[in-house]
Amino acid sequence: MYEVEVKIPAELEAVRDRLEALEATRRGSVVQADTYYNAPHRDFAETDEALRIRSERPADGPEETHVTYKGPLVDEETKTREEFETGVENDETIDAILTSLGFEATATVRKDRERFSLNGYTVTLDSVDGVGEYVEVETEVADESNLETAREGAYDVLERLGHDPDDQLQTSYLGLLLES
């Protein structure tokens, strides 16, 4: 599975208004805490990979926890990368497993997220502690043959929201947090 993602800094209130005008479907809000790990056998900052535990609390439901591996970027235009994710029952247990294997927690990124659907894409409004406000447009595709079409569609959604795809950032929230 590949995640095709475009992310730009944005004033969230203006994007929210534009989403309403475009009749986007609201998908809810969550608070996420993403704890990132580095491997004992290679430096993920050098290989452009990521391993994280995400604890997510929806506004209207119980907390969920997932562990996610993200491979290196597959293009220079967007944040497209191969991604594997699975649910886990307990964030403390998976943290204990990873640290027992020599993985080290490097930082935790906390964000408030609002999700919308528009033209088959997920539009996420992120307020990231210590980093700022961003909008992400993303979708998933099963194989590389669909990446270009998905990327162009994400650019189209971003333009419909009144933003220029050339303003996108490829730096992760973790990278932005560590830079600040």
Q: What amino acid positions are annotated as catalytic residues?
A: 36
**Is the four-CA dihedral 176, 13, 21, 26 of positive or negative sign?**
positive
Backbone angles phi, psi at 46, to 5 degrees: -80, -35
CA 49/CA 38 separation, integer angstroms: 9
* Tokens 């999700």 -> residue: 115
Beta bridge partners of 125: 114, 135
